[in-house]
Copies of this chain bind each other. A is one copy, B any other.
Amino acid sequence: MGPGPSDVDPRVLAAMARPIIGHLDPEFISMMDQVKTMLKAVLQTENELTMPVSAPGSAGMETCFVNLVEAGDKVIVCQNGVFGGRMRENVERYGGTAIMVEDEWGQPVDPAKVEAAFAEHPDAKILAFVHAETSTGVRSDAKTLCQIAQKNNALTIVDAVTSMGGVELDVDGWGIDALYSGTQKCLSCPPGISPVTFSNKAVEVVKARKTPVASWFMDTNLVMGYWGGSGKRAYHHTAPVNALYALHESLVLLLNEGLENAWSRHDLHHQALKAGLEAMGLELLVDEEYRLPQLNSVVVPEGVDEAAVRSALLQNYSLEIGAGLGALAGKVWRIGLMGASCNRRNVMQCLDALENTIREQGIDVGQGAAQAAAKVYQN
């Protein structure tokens, strides 16, 4: 129950352990087509360039930036947590200029600040932001931010690592141009693969580049020779066959459940967890309006050794919860409710373990957590 990787469904683990076949085998090619079709469904897009990058989310991020940013480009980068900072590094490594829009950690991206940044930099080519900040548990208003970008003729690059499968995400409806995600959050798949999608407009921008993409491995022009929809597949790199078995199975599970049902499930268990935490007198960092159900940042109460609590949870309950990162290090715990990890048993065990562990530090947290959570489930 950390910030990811989340628990992997046993069906996904079993799929991963299937015997390998060749990465150009007709059976495998047909499975690739299914993966693409299911990714499109989950991302709610018709984008032809929709595929899993053969590397973790950080490489998915890099795939978006290395293809779309050229030297001299201005990119408005919103930072309200760890991952906006990483976006800035990406922009600068490809010779772009990052116009930073800063918000406090724990706050969503402020659309007014983004409007102001465009007013000052009407030539900005791209707006980049994180939909669901894993470092804080904040959801930003992706739809509104995309509208601002469109009004200013800019492309959008959206980090959906933690949002995909856990909360609403509508690539075509919101007009997102480039998006990357990860398998190890709400898809309940092992880490190592990054789903990516590019709009046709983004594809045109890549094709019109003046300079070659500064990466052979991540050049979408080349990768699409292998993942492209029609005709012959050209060898690009050796696909991680077993990791793709796993992704395939996790997408089957998600689509069987239904996107809306999965989002509701994340919300339900979040409400129960929240009720239990509040019964203990604990506070959530993020305002209700912007809270991600799948990533709960809990303010560490005064007098509690937060690292000792995490360590005791791991040792005594085999339960992982996350530490704060960056500006929030030492100040919050991050409790994940992602994918297969997002269930009633986990919520109840977590509340119980946390209550006992904090009590052992001499802090009174009452005994009502379980009851408060149970009440949510009864409604």
Q: Mark A119-151, 1 if CB is under 8 A from B, else 0.
A: 000000000000000000000000000000000
A236 and B83 alpha carbons, distance in the complex (Å) = 11
Does B20 lie within 8 Å of A190, measured CB to CB? yes
Given A192-B240, A215-B93, A314-B25, A16 and B19 contact (CB-CB distance below 8 Å): no
Checking B54, B62, B93, B213 against A93 with a beta-carbon cut-off of 8 angstroms, the contacting residue is B213
Q: Does A327 contact B (CB under 8 A)?
A: no
Does A22 lie within 8 Å of B8, measured CB to CB? no
Given A93-B215, A243-B190, A238 and B13 contact (CB-CB distance below 8 Å): no
Q: Mark A150-190, 1 if CB is under 8 A from B, else 0.
A: 00000000000000000000000000000000101000001
Does A25 lie within 8 Å of B243, measured CB to CB? no
Copies in the complex: 2
Contacts of A94 in B (CB 8 A): 214
Does A8 lie within 8 Å of B20, measured CB to CB? yes
Q: Mark A188-222, 1 if CB is under 8 A from B, else 0.
A: 00111000000000000000000011111100000
Q: Does A56 contact B (CB under 8 A)?
A: yes
Q: Does A7 contact B (CB under 8 A)?
A: yes
Does A5 lie within 8 Å of B217, measured CB to CB? no
Q: Does A80 contact B (CB under 8 A)?
A: no
Given A92-B212, A191-B241, A325-B235, A217 and B58 contact (CB-CB distance below 8 Å): yes
Given A57-B238, A243-B240, A62 and B191 contact (CB-CB distance below 8 Å): no
Q: Does A4 contact B (CB under 8 A)?
A: yes
Checking B56, B89, B235 against A54 with a beta-carbon cut-off of 8 angstroms, the contacting residue is B56
Q: Does A21 contact B (CB under 8 A)?
A: yes
Report which A residues bind B (CB closer than 8 A): 2, 4-5, 7-8, 13-14, 16-23, 25-26, 54-59, 61-62, 66, 86, 89-90, 92-94, 182, 184, 190-192, 212-217, 235-243, 246, 314, 320, 325
A-B interface, 6 closest residue pairs, ranked by CB to CB distance from nearest: A192-B240, A55-B55, A17-B17, A58-B237, A190-B242, A191-B238
